[in-house]
């Protein structure tokens, strides 16, 4: 039986958002040769919606995006454990079912709204505090704040018109996301990938952040990757 063992592991790791050793990722292949087209820098945040480390990371990245948002292709990928015994999500989220719901709400917002909208939606959830993230009333309030017409939009259809996070599409987005996270080797929330490289982890404190962990450090690293990805075809506007 594997579940009791996993439960035991979960018991010992409950104090942090995760506990598995950090692994450096290799850079995925990029197209360096499309000279006429700007290539944005892929930035991936490995997160859990109700994790304090993720909330902190996302507030740091709010400052980063204000400076180099135009150069970045941002995405969120969520950590969780596939669990066929979980009746609602089929996933166990470390900070409870509300977190699974929050993950689904955010994934649906990401899929169906432009970045400036979904990013403000995520920031709004975070601003309510970690114990509020994922509650239907929080999602609806934040949808209002960023002008997502929840019940009549694709976001609401995806995540559930009642904002429960149990919409069919949203549930499959969550399962997909958890598997992608795993395949990327992300084991801690928050893990920051810039152009395929894990450059920093926030896990109670900052860890494995060779290039630094302030907004200015991430801005610098993004500018460096942007220059690499775009070669001489685009003026490096650092
Ligand atoms: C799987 O889900 C069930 C029901 O929610 C829960 O009791 C159990 O602890 C979960 N298992 C793991 C490994 O998280």
Q: How far is Cα 17 from Cα 181, in angstroms, rounded to an integer?
A: 14
36-79 pLDDT tens trace: 689 999 999 999 999 999 999 999 999 999 999 999 999 999 99
Least confident of 105-109, 151-155, 233-237: 233-237
CA–CA–CA angle 186, 190, 194 (5° rounding): 70
Atom of ligand 1 nearest to the CA of 2: 13
Tell me how far the alpha carbon of residue 20 lies from the centroid of ligand 1, in angstroms. 19
Residue 90, sorted as left (phi over 0), alpha (psi -120 to 50) or beta, turns out to be left
Q: Is 3 in the pocket of ligand 1 (CB under 6 A)?
A: yes
Of 83, 87, 94, 101, the one to substitute when testing ligand 1's pocket (max ligand atoms within 8 A of C-beta) is 83
Tell me how far the alpha carbon of residue 14 lies from the centroid of ligand 1, in angstroms. 14
Of 86, 97, 178, the one to substitute when testing ligand 1's pocket (max ligand atoms within 8 A of C-beta) is 86
| 185 against 19, higher pLDDT | 185
Q: Residue 3 burial (CB < 10 Å; 0-12/13-18/19+)? A: exposed
Question: Residue 3's pLDDT is what?
Answer: 46
Q: Is 84 in the pocket of ligand 1 (CB under 6 A)?
A: no
Q: Is 83 in the pocket of ligand 1 (CB under 6 A)?
A: yes
Please give the average per-residue pLDDT across 181-185, as a whole number.
Answer: 97
Helix, strand and coil in the chain, % to nearest 5? 45, 15, 40
CATH of segment(s) 41-229 = 3.40.30.10
Full 3-state SS string of 145-196: HCCCCHHHCHHHHHHCCCCCCCCHHHHHHHHHHHHHHHHCCCCCCCEEEECC
Please give the average per-residue pLDDT across 71-97, as a whole number.
Answer: 97
**pLDDT at position 11 over 50:** no
**pLDDT at position 153 over 70:** yes
User: Strands (DSSP E) along the chain, which ranges?
Assistant: 41-47, 72-78, 81-82, 91-92, 191-194, 197-203, 205-207
């Amino acid at each position: 039986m594997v579940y009791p063992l996993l439960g035991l592991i979960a018991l010992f790791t409950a104090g942090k958002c995760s506990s598995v050793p950090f692994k450096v990722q290799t850079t995925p292949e990029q197209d360096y040769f499309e000279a006429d087209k700007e290539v944005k820098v892929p930035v991936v945040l490995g997160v859990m919606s109700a994790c304090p480390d993720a909330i902190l990371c996302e507030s740091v990245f709010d400052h980063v995006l204000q400076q180099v948002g135009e150069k970045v292709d941002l995405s969120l990928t969520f950590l969780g454990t596939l669990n066929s015994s979980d009746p609602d999500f089929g996933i166990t989220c470390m900070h409870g079912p509300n977190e699974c719901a929050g993950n689904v709400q955010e994934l649906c917002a990401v899929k169906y709204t432009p970045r400036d909208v979904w990013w403000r939606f995520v920031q709004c959830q975070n601003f309510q505090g970690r114990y509020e993230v994922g509650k239907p009333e929080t999602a609806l309030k934040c949808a209002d704040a960023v002008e997502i017409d929840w019940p009549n939009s694709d976001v609401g259809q995806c995540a559930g018109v009642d904002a429960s996070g149990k919409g069919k599409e949203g549930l499959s987005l969550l399962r997909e996301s958890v598997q992608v996270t795993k395949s990327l080797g992300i084991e801690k929330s928050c893990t920051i990938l810039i152009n395929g490289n894990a450059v920093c982890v926030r896990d109670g404190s900052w860890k494995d952040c060779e290039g630094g962990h302030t907004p200015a450090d991430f801005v610098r690293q993004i500018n460096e990757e942007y220059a690499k990805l775009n070669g001489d075809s685009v003026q490096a506007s650092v």
